[in-house]
Amino acid sequence: MNKGITLRGAFGSSFRSLVCVHGMASCDECQMHPTCPYGFIFSPRVPEGAERLRLNRDIPRPFVIKPPLEERQVFEPGDQLSFELVIVGKAARFFPYLLVSFRNLGERGIGVGR
């Protein structure tokens, strides 16, 4: 199990369930994308005037999760799981949503069998 991938996936799912208005399979056609926290964080679009980024199919997400480096793979309820979250640029305005999203993950659990 890759803890970074697991954390990112669980975070994305939790964040989407918290902020997504329409629940569409893809953000591409969503009318809310320009103002949606999920769209900004997980499905960013190339900003106007950023010609160099237009060459890319996908642009970087405005966050980085640094997972724990310990070998341990299983965490029991009540165990502490520490990681670092770096929020980049304008994504910081969504910090309250990010915080609630991770709190929700702590309550429901992460991974197979939660």
Instruction: Say whether 32 sits in a helix, a strand or coil.
Output: coil
Q: At what angle do helices 3-19 and 95-108 cross, to 10 degrees?
A: 110
- The string of pLDDT tens digits covering residues 50-81 is 888 778 878 889 999 999 888 888 888 888 88
First vs last C-alpha separation in the chain? 14
Query: What is the pTM (predicted TM-score) of this model?
Result: 0.84
Q: What is the pLDDT of residue 42?
A: 94
Query: Residue 114 and residue 105: Cα distance in Å, rounded?
Result: 10
Q: How far is 104 from 52, CA to CA, in rounded Å?
A: 37
- Domain coordinates in residue numbering, the chain: 3-108
